[in-house]
Amino acid sequence: MEYTLILIVALFFTQTLYSQSDTIVYYKGHAPCDTIHGADRQVVFQRKNDKKSVMMTFELKNNQWKLEKTEIIKRMRNGRYAIGGGTNNIIRSYKKINGGYQVEEYNYEGKLRKKGLSKKMFPLHRVGQWQSYTTIM
């Protein structure tokens, strides 16, 4: 019991120390959920400085969290940022609107892939349905 209490207090202080710089979003399937309990995926967003951040995706496999991918986010001018280092290299543009952001996602060739609303500039919390754009060849 004593060790459990120490562990809980240590986790609380760790969470308090790192809450300023990290954002963690938990998912069940593809829908965000409030806590880690029942989640099967989590995305950790760490801000390094004003121009660069790191986004890591973890998946629950055999009751352990495994790192699936790490992506580097670089802010650019004119309301854009690039995400690279994962399987896709994309560019997103964002525009501040009432209650959040309107986000457009482009592939590495500059073609529009997705468009939608987000509560934050980095769309970890997507709102409503996003439109997908695909090219038929």
Reported pTM: 0.63
CA-based radius of gyration for the chain: 17
How far is Cα 118 from Cα 126, in angstroms, rounded to an integer? 4
Give every CB contact of residue 66 below 8 A, 6+ residues apart in sequence: 58, 59, 60
Q: How many residues does the chain have?
A: 137
pLDDT-above-70 percentage for the chain = 77
Residue 130: pLDDT band with limits 50, 70, 90 = confident
Q: Tokens representing 44? A: 């950790």
pLDDT in tens, 81-117: 888 875 668 888 989 998 888 999 898 888 899 999 9
Torsion 101-21-91-33 (CA) sign: negative
Q: For the chain, which residues make up each domain, given as ranges?
A: 22-132
